[in-house]
Amino acid sequence: MINTLRGAVGRLLLALLLLAAPRVWAQSPVWQMAMTMGGNTSQVNATATDGAGNVYIAGAFTGTVNFGGISLTSQGPNFDAFVAKWSPASYGFVWAQRAGGTGTEMANGVAVEGNGVYIVGEFSSTPAAFGSTLLTNSGTTPMYPQSDIFVAKLVDAGTSASFAWAQGIGSSQYGRDAGNAIVASGTSVYIAGTVGPAARFGTLALAGGSTMFVAKLTDAGSSSTFSWVQPAGGGDAEDNATALALNGNNLYVAGYFYNGATFGSIALTSTSSCRPCRYRDMFVAKLVDGGTTPSFGWAERTPGEATALDVDGSNVYVAGVFNGTTTFGGTVLTSNGTSQDIFVAKLSDLGSSVSFGWAQRAGSSYLDWVTGIKAKVGSVYITGFFGDDIVLGNTTLVSAGGREVYVAKLTDAGATSNFVWAQRAGNVGTEQGSALALAGSKIYVGGYTLSRTIDFSGSLLTNTGPAGYQVGFFASLNDIILSTTPSASTRQFGLFPNPAHASTIVELPALAPLAGPVKLVLTDALGRTARTEWVNLPATGLRHDLDLTGLAPGLYAVRV
């Protein structure tokens, strides 16, 4: 059974509309909803949303998992891949599909374009079933099966879905080929990852040794073909392209490499001269899709490992981890002692070149990680896990003793940035936020937990899987953006907590010589008056407790 938490749904969502410049408290939003999938083992690895606000999650499971009333059972004792659709209208899952065989299959990325739902990952079964399409692993050593890459399309019919096509990619040598990221636009589908020597992409082949890659498929509806494949890297088997973002015909790819890497004609050298030390360098590169051929526009590197990437216009946001010191343009970040910290950085795409903007770090005294990043109109959201009490800007998230989930928001002010809020979920076991998606003011997070119970804003969600096994979770928060109507006044106003439940405090400054009665008008999202209060404004200012009891959940505004 799915175990569901909706303990915070009844909280009111308040926006502040005042005729002055407001003071905004960085009140962390509470978790609105959380659920687990069960199964012997399950995990959510990727999320995506469509224009209607539906959320698609993808990952892997063993045993039987339950998405509402929809059950999936793995074919064997190993992982099968899954993809499922969650509807905000019904507040539940409307369909779920599995793929795989008796080996190990895992979905690592998901993208949505129109009614097409695309997943990418890896498979070791022979065969691995994607609907009626069977994929054969290209490995030649059955005793030591390798993983090949799969990319597949499902057609979303609303309350059901079916596989339309699937493609397999791999080399014939033992090793791990992995598809890590996927994006789609129109009939173009792009994937990124890492492959072994002489890998084949349909009729296309990559000569040479192990390499990172970006490849393009053209979706013909019930079939697909590879249009091109672009290698990158330095030939090291551990070089990896981990993240992909798309803006028009510009693709942005990020990851890490050892001992130097090439991106077309652009060569990046390692920042460490100690070759046996195996220090990693992160990279971000731009690849322009020319239709039938691609070309790299620019590439940058710095010490660390890039794990997540997003783009908003000409702004490219990258997140990852580093140990010691790393440099983004003129910004030097230093980790907390010997621990691995997270970074978030902004780059500006100048066309044929790139420049670093701001960079931020956050970390605890133990291992920290970032797995997802999303950007929207000056707001940047990240998720991952932290290993001990972690400081994100002015917010400290206190660990319960295990590895826990965090979600945090930064604001991009152009040349600078700052953390606005951060929220945690977890317990004394092991939790990880692995995927992040945005839909309106909603922030969706997927991952997994090993704890028997996991704390979401004071409410406990039960792990329904066997003791000692991890189960996937899917949860959401509602980000509250306080909007203002400015005037010539520079006096400060405030409204907190926000979101609120039974009451909220309205703080007004001294407005002498205007001391006296003040009218507070609370309106709903349609502009209808929900409550009116007259309060006396002393010459020294006011802190007034505004009663909200009896109001339906929703978005409200306060006008003075």
How far, rounded to the nearest angstrom, does the alpha carbon of residue 531 sit from its chain's CA centroid? Answer: 38
DSSP β-bridge partners for residue 109: 120
Q: How far is it between the farthest Cα atoms of the chain?
A: 86
- pLDDT value, residue 495: 78
| pLDDT per position as a tens digit, 506-547 | 877 765 444 556 677 787 655 567 787 777 777 677 788 888
Segments of the chain scoring below 70 in pLDDT: 1-27, 140-145, 174-175, 273-278, 480-493, 510-518, 524-528, 539, 553-554
| Total count of residues recorded for the chain | 560
Strands (E), 416-547: 417-426, 431-439, 442-449, 453-456, 459-462, 471-478, 494-496, 503-508, 516-523, 529-537, 542-547
Identify whether the C-beta of residue 407 lies closer than 8 Å to the C-beta of residue 422: yes
Report the percentage of the chain scoring pLDDT > 70.
87
Backbone angle region of 115, left / alpha / beta, with phi > 0 → left and psi within -120 to 50 → alpha? alpha
- pLDDT value, residue 499: 74
Neighbours of 266 (CB within 10 A): 16
- pLDDT value, residue 142: 52
Cα distance from N-terminal residue to C-terminal residue, the chain = 48
SS3 122: strand
46-59 per-residue burial string, b: 16 or more CB within 10 A, e: under 16: bbbbbeeebbbbbb
Main-chain dihedrals φ then ψ at residue 387, nearest 5 degrees: -100, -15
Sheet of 13-16, strand order: 13-16, 555-559, 516-523, 529-537
- pLDDT value, residue 174: 60
- pLDDT value, residue 512: 46
| pLDDT per position as a tens digit, 36-67 | 998 889 999 999 999 999 999 999 999 999 99
Identify whether the C-beta of residue 371 lies closer than 8 Å to the C-beta of residue 435: yes
- pLDDT value, residue 145: 60
With 0-12 / 13-18 / 19 or more C-beta atoms within 10 angstroms meaning exposed / middle / buried, residue 454 is buried
- pLDDT value, residue 12: 47
Euclidean distance between CA atoms 310 and 318, whole angstroms: 7
Main-chain dihedrals φ then ψ at residue 157, nearest 5 degrees: -95, 15
Identify the H or E element spanning 341: strand 341-349
Identify whether the C-beta of residue 115 lies closer than 8 Å to the C-beta of residue 218: no
- pLDDT value, residue 271: 86
